[in-house]
Amino acid sequence: MSDRAFSVILLPTAECNVACEYCFEYKEPLRLSLEALPALTESVLAHMEQEGFGECEVYWQGGEALIMGPDWYRKAKVIMEEAAARRGLKFVHYLQTNLIGYSKAWNDIIFDMFDGSLGTSMDYPNLHRKLFSGSAGKYTEVWRERLEEVRSSGIHVGVIAVLHQGSLDAGAEAFYRYFVEELGITDFQVNTPFPGGPANEAETEFQLESGALAEFLGDLFEIWMENGYKNGVQVGPFDALINHFSGRPARLPCIWKENCSNQFVSIDAKGTVAQCDCWVTSYPDYYFGNIFREPDLSRMLSESPARQKFVERPGKLVEDEDCLSCRFLSICHGGCPVRTYAAMGTLDSKDPYCEVYKRVFSQAERYGNELRKKAVLAV
By the criterion CB under 6 A, which residues form the site for ligand SF4? 16, 18-20, 23, 25, 62-64, 98, 254-255, 260, 264, 275-276, 278, 322-323, 326, 328-329, 332, 334-338, 350-351, 354, 357-358
Nearer to ligand SF4, 246 or 340 (CB): 340
Nearer to ligand SF4, 297 or 332 (CB): 332
Nearer to ligand SF4, 51 or 81 (CB): 51
Minimal distance, residue 289 CB to ligand SF4, in Å: 17
Contact 209, 343 (CB under 8 A): no
Contact 161, 126 (CB under 8 A): no
Give the residue among 65, 51, 87, 89 at the shortest CA–CA distance from 10. 65
Nearer to ligand SF4, 206 or 357 (CB): 357
Rounded CA-CA distance 131/100 in Å is 9
Nearer to ligand SF4, 299 or 358 (CB): 358
Nearer to ligand SF4, 18 or 371 (CB): 18
Burial 272-284 (b: 16+ CB within 10 A, else e): bbbbbbbbbbbbe
As a whole number of angstroms, the longest Cα–Cα distance in the chain is: 60
Minimal distance, residue 55 CB to ligand SF4, in Å: 18
Minimal distance, residue 263 CB to ligand SF4, in Å: 8
Calculated CA dihedral for residues 344, 345, 351, 355, nearest 10 degrees? 10
Minimal distance, residue 120 CB to ligand SF4, in Å: 9
Minimal distance, residue 338 CB to ligand SF4, in Å: 4
Nearer to ligand SF4, 223 or 276 (CB): 276
Nearer to ligand SF4, 142 or 278 (CB): 278
DSSP string, 326-363: -TTHHHHTT--HHHHHHHHS-SSS--TTHHHHHHHHHH
In what order do the strands lie in the sheet containing 156-162? 117-121, 156-162, 187-191, 234-236
Q: Is 160 exposed, middle or buried, given 0-12, 13-18 or 19+ CB atoms closer than 10 A?
A: middle
Minimal distance, residue 354 CB to ligand SF4, in Å: 3
Contact 283, 268 (CB under 8 A): no
Give the residue among 66, 73, 62 at the shortest CA–CA distance from 14. 62
Question: At 9, which amino acid appears?
Answer: I
CB atoms within 10 A of CB 182: 11
Contact 49, 87 (CB under 8 A): yes
Minimal distance, residue 63 CB to ligand SF4, in Å: 5
Beta bridge partners, 121, equal 160
Rounded CA-CA distance 201/20 in Å is 12
Minimal distance, residue 215 CB to ligand SF4, in Å: 17
Minimal distance, residue 10 CB to ligand SF4, in Å: 14
Nearer to ligand SF4, 113 or 354 (CB): 354
Kindly give the residue spans of alpha helices, DSSP state H, lying in 87-201. 107-114, 136-152, 165-170, 172-177
